[in-house]
């Protein structure tokens, strides 16, 4: 594998590129370096005509445990908070609006931003034992991956409020019933299933596949661009809210 920064690895397997979150000791919790490396990895894959499909996965015991609150410092200004939110959203833009189809292999935990990235995938496949939830509101934070627009269209307003405001935890089977998980695979078969789907996509005419993804996602997610702007406004406010600071500081001191 090659590194776009040690916290993000890439590997080309024929026409399929694997993009791997690589902070297994922290359950792939999101750091600034990971965000930058991940954005670059997806941009590189989307620009490569030889890459016809992407498998997006995490190393170790989890896909992604969300923001690394123990390492994260509260932004010192609204501008800094806004810049951080926009950097995270660059990952969403590269996945959702990039041309290459993305197969997600989701195992262990998909929390917060990790859950957002799973939702951003074109074909999210969840391991049977995987779970996902959004803890942002409980910390006084806000979502950033366009999910404030994606989820209501996918599962309806009430279920979206349950997920985003109450932070309810869902297993893979429940997420499949809701339409969030495209497929559910046995834990030990997850990667094989993701690779099989990616290989199938890679075997199709590349221009037709890329055009289809671009057309469908722009039609389905036409309001995501506006939602991303609203989300980053809320992120900027939340990062500089005293209650948010207190909650994150208390967690970091555990």
- Residue 105: Cβ within 10 Å count: 28
Q: Which of 17-21, 67-71, 122-126 has the lowest mean pLDDT?
A: 67-71
**What pLDDT score does 247 carry?**
61
**What pLDDT score does 240 carry?**
66
pLDDT in tens, 85-106: 889 889 999 999 999 999 999 9
Kindly state whether residue 200 falls inside one of the protein's structural domains: no
- Mean of the per-residue pLDDT values for the chain? 90
Kindly state whether residue 196 falls inside one of the protein's structural domains: no
- 183-185: strand order across its sheet: 2-3, 8-13, 16-21, 53-58, 102-106, 123-127, 183-185
Domain count, the chain: 1
Kindly state whether residue 44 falls inside one of the protein's structural domains: yes
Give the residue numbers annotated as catalytic, written as ranges: 136
Q: Where does residue 146 rank: exposed (0-12), middle (13-18), buried (19+ CB within 10 A)? A: buried
Kindly state whether residue 198 falls inside one of the protein's structural domains: no
Is residue 227 scored above 80 in pLDDT? no
CATH of the domain at 151: 3.90.226.10
DSSP letter assigned to residue 64? B
Q: Is 67 helix (H, G, I), strand (E, B) or coil?
A: strand
pLDDT in tens, 203-220: 999 999 999 999 999 888
pLDDT category at 46 given cuts 50, 70, 90 is very high
Q: Which residue has the higher pLDDT, 248 or 11?
A: 11
pTM of the model: 0.90
Is residue 76 scored above 70 in pLDDT? no
102-106/53-58 β-pairing: parallel
Kindly state whether residue 246 falls inside one of the protein's structural domains: yes
With both helix axes pointing from N to C terminus, report the angle between 113-120 and 78-96 in degrees, rounded to the nearest 10.
30
pLDDT in tens, 141-194: 888 888 998 999 999 999 999 999 999 999 999 999 999 999 999 999 999 999
Rounded CA-CA distance 81/238 in Å is 9
| Alpha-helical segments (H) within 63-132 | 78-96, 113-120
**What pLDDT score does 222 carry?**
74
- Which residue segment(s) compose the domain that 172 sits in? 2-190+205-252
Is residue 67 scored above 70 in pLDDT? yes
Mean pLDDT confidence for 32-59? 98
């Amino acid at each position: 594998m090659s590194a776009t920064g040690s916290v993000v690895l890439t590997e080309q397997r024929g026409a399929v590129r694997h993009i791997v979150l690589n902070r297994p000791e922290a359950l792939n919790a999101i750091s600034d370096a990971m965000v930058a490396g991940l954005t670059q990895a997806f941009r590189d894959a989307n620009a490569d005509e030889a890459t016809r499909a992407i498998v997006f996965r995490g190393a170790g015991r989890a896909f992604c445990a969300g923001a690394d609150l123990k390492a994260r410092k509260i932004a010192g200004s609204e501008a800094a908070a806004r810049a951080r939110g926009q950097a995270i959203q660059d990952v969403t833009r590269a996945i959702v609006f990039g041309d290459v189809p993305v197969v997600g292999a989701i195992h262990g935990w998909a929390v917060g931003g990790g859950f957002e990235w799973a939702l951003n995938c074109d074909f999210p496949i969840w391991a049977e034992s995987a779970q996902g939830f959004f803890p942002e509101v409980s910390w006084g934070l806000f979502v950033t991956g366009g999910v404030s627009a994606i989820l209501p269209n996918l599962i309806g307003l009430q279920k979206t409020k349950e997920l985003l405001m109450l932070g309810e935890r869902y297993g893979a089977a429940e997420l499949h019933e809701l339409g969030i998980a495209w497929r559910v695979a046995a834990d030990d078969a997850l990667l094989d299933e993701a690779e099989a789907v990616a290989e199938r996509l890679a075997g199709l005419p590349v221009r037709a596949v890329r055009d289809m993804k671009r057309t469908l996602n722009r039609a389905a997610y036409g309001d995501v661009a506006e939602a991303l702007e609203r989300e980053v406004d809320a992120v900027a406010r939340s990062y500089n809210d005293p209650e948010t600071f207190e909650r994150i500081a208390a967690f970091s001191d555990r």
